[in-house]
Amino acid sequence: MKSSNVVLKVVTGGYLLLFFVYLFLPLVFMAIVAFNTSPIPQVTPWEGSTLKWFGKLFADGQMWDSLINSLIVAFFVVIISVPIGLGASLLLTRMQFKAREGLYAILVSPLLTPGIILGISTFLFWDRAFFISGGLWTAIMGQSTFISGYCMLLIMARSQRFDKTQEDAAFDLGATHRQVFWKITLPFLKPALLSAAALAFMQSFENYNTTLFAIGFEQTLPIYIGTKLRSFISPAMNALACIFIGLTIAGATVYEIMRRREHGKN
């Protein structure tokens, strides 16, 4: 019995290790290449260490333009998606009506639709209905179509745990709807709203598929990366990847710390 447990532990540990090697090794390689002098992105032969690819990246005006576009798009996606997610979650968790399940299915459907389809339909709709051709606005609309769904699910998860007697008590004591919303509902939902905003920002900032079809001739950062990677590959892209990885690790660490603190509180 004991020895079979040891075998099981070794096998599980080995499998886990293998999985993490599979996940991280490609990323590690990609990051290391950013520091190789060789103009072809590769690890071997190592032609000497350098930081010049970071310099090349920062000197690229297109990169900065697309970064600014990305930030603009992400900002508006947050502004649009979080209220929509809030409205939908209030409707779906507080009200009982016949079409509830059907409406829910329709509202989560963009999450299960390939991004390119959302991009195409948004592009065609705005072009045809309002004569607005593809640009930052259509990218914002296309992304918000599915990001609102993520926000809705996040806010719903918290909203379902809400103790409605708090609101009822407030109403009984003569509070107005506005007071109840600002003093009770909103404070309770605040953590979910904040994480919805963070998720919406990240989803927007990362989005490639939907944006590619919706944005026309403009560029966000992922579109810029995609265009670069499809043509001539320079280690400058590895430098950018390095920065992304660094930011992601920092973000994940902050997220984990916050999660543990939140957990400790409850």
Q: Which of residues 83-112 bind another protein (CB under 8 A)?
A: 83-84, 86-88, 90-91, 94-97, 101, 103-110, 112
For 205, the token pair is 């900032």
Smaller CB separation from another protein, 190 or 260: 260
What angle (nearest 5°) sits at the alpha carbon of residue 211, between those of residues 206 and 212?
A: 110
Q: Draw the binding track, 46-75, toward another protein (x: CB under 8 A; -: no contact).
A: ------------------------------
Smaller CB separation from another protein, 64 or 181: 181
Classify the C-alpha dihedral 192-198-203-204 as positive or negative.
Answer: positive
Q: How far is the CB of 237 from another protein (least distance, A)?
A: 7
Distance CA 194, CA 131 (A): 35
Q: How far is the CB of 72 from another protein (least distance, A)?
A: 18
CA 64 from centroid of its chain's CA atoms: 20
Q: Which of 66, 69, 70, 145 binds another protein (CB under 8 A)?
A: 145
Smaller CB separation from another protein, 148 or 219: 148
Listed residue (246, 248, 157) closest to 196, CA to CA:
157
> Interacting stretch for another protein, rule CB under 8 A, among 48-56, 69-77, 187-195, 255-263?
255-263
Distance CA 36, CA 76 (A): 38
Q: Which of 181, 183, 188, 198 binds another protein (CB under 8 A)?
A: 181
Q: What are phi and psi of 231, to 5 degrees?
A: -95, -110
Smaller CB separation from another protein, 68 or 105: 105
For 248, the token pair is 């992601």
> Interacting stretch for another protein, rule CB under 8 A, among 54-62, 63-71, 190-198, 206-214?
206-214
Smaller CB separation from another protein, 64 or 244: 244
Q: How far is the CB of 114 from another protein (least distance, A)?
A: 2
Listed residue (217, 249, 242) closest to 56, CA to CA:
242
Smaller CB separation from another protein, 64 or 125: 125
Interaxial angle between packed helices 221-230 and 186-206, expressed in degrees from 0 to 180 and rounded to the nearest 10:
20
Examine residue 156 and tell whether it contacts another protein (CB under 8 A).
Answer: yes
For 232, the token pair is 């001539």
Examine residue 125 and tell whether it contacts another protein (CB under 8 A).
Answer: yes
Scored b (16 or more CB within 10 A) or e, 70-108 reads: beebbebbbebbbebbbebbbebbeeeeeeeeeeeeebb
Q: How far is the CB of 252 from another protein (least distance, A)?
A: 5
- Provide the β-strand partners of residue 49: 36
Q: Which of 196, 200, 236, 237 binds another protein (CB under 8 A)?
A: 237
Examine residue 256 and tell whether it contacts another protein (CB under 8 A).
Answer: yes
